Amino acid sequence: MDSGTPTPVRTPARGAMTPVLARTAVRAATAPWGGDRRQQRLRVCTAADLLLAQGLRVRVVNPPVAWPRGPRLVVANASGWADVLALATVVPGTPVVDAALAARPLLRVLARRGGLLVDDDGSGAVRGQVTALLRAGATVTASPGTGATADDPGRFRARALAPAVDAQAAVCPVAVRPAGSGVLEVHLLSALEPGHDARALAALAEYAVAHVLESGAPGPARPGPARPVALPPA
């Protein structure tokens, strides 16, 4: 187990990422995606490849009570792409990303082929898509914080959590933080009931994530290579 004060995660020079980015882009663009399960595997493998290329490992801290079965809206902090990738390897699901990030070449391929949803910044289209996925029993992941930093999840947007209220799906907060050299901790926190107030739900999820980021203590888990963790089936 790692100990000591967490240090910022550093990525190597851009050149070190070029081969794996090229392989990932080719796989995403040419792989026969097939059904939802194959799409999910491709997303997980893509994220794991990128993390490993950066020399990063993921350490998972499980929730005190297992997440409920059925649809889940998983909301996490994300101050950079390492956080997004770590979440993708631990909690497979359909990711929702900001339009600016989806403009990058690799993500543009994934978006075009149905690998992710692009946040429409309030037009309502993505809210409807996420609500439909949740009503169908799927898991959707999102990083709804605005102005997030390494130790602050930012302000969680109520509209990003509104689909959970619409579909009456559980909201599962996740905190991602650096925990030593080359290690990212992914804390799966206790699930929240959706209730009927998206603003209050966003505040509760934000508080849960912020509490972990501010605590500073490493979680009780063993670090390992980037890989998905087994969760209860939806």
Decide if pLDDT at 206 tops 70. yes
Closest CA to 226 of 79, 92, 95, 86: 86
Note whether 37 and 207 are within 8 A (CB). no
Can you state the angle between helices 81-90 and 36-53, rounded to 10 degrees? 130
- Do the bridges between strand 139-142 and strand 170-178 make them parallel or antiparallel, or are there none, so unpaired? unpaired
DSSP code for 115: S
What's the rounded Cα separation, in Å, for the pair 32 and 159? 34
Say which range, 53-57, 103-107, 168-172, has the weakest mean pLDDT.
103-107
Q: How far apart are CA 221 and CA 156, in angstroms?
A: 27
Using only C-alpha atoms, the chain has a radius of gyration, in whole angstroms, of: 17
Spell out the domain ranges in the chain.
14-215
Quote the pTM value.
0.79
Calpha distance 208→190 (Å, rounded): 9
CB 223 within 8 A of CB 57: yes
Q: What are the CA-CA distances from residue 171 to residues 140, 142, 178, 193 (Å)?
A: 10, 11, 23, 7
Tokens at residue 82, please?
């390492």
Lowest-pLDDT range, 13-17, 91-95, 211-215?
13-17
Within 10 Å of residue 25's Cβ, how many Cβ atoms? 16
Question: With bands split at pLDDT 50, 70 and 90, how would you rate the model's confidence at 210?
Answer: very high
The per-residue pLDDT for range 100-140, each reduced to its tens digit, is 666 665 555 555 555 677 776 656 788 999 999 999 999 99
* Helix H or strand E segment including 142: strand 139-142
Which residues on neighbouring strands pair with residue 58, listed in sequence order? 184, 224
Chain centre distance of CA 207: 17
More confident residue, 91 or 100: 91
CA-CA-CA-CA torsion sign (165, 166, 167, 172): negative
Q: 13: alpha, beta or left, given left = phi > 0 and alpha = psi -120 to 50?
A: beta
Instruction: Say which residue the tokens 């509760």 belong to.
Output: 204
Looking at every residue in the chain, the average pLDDT score rounds to 78
**Range with the lowest mean pLDDT among 51-55, 169-173, 210-214?**
51-55
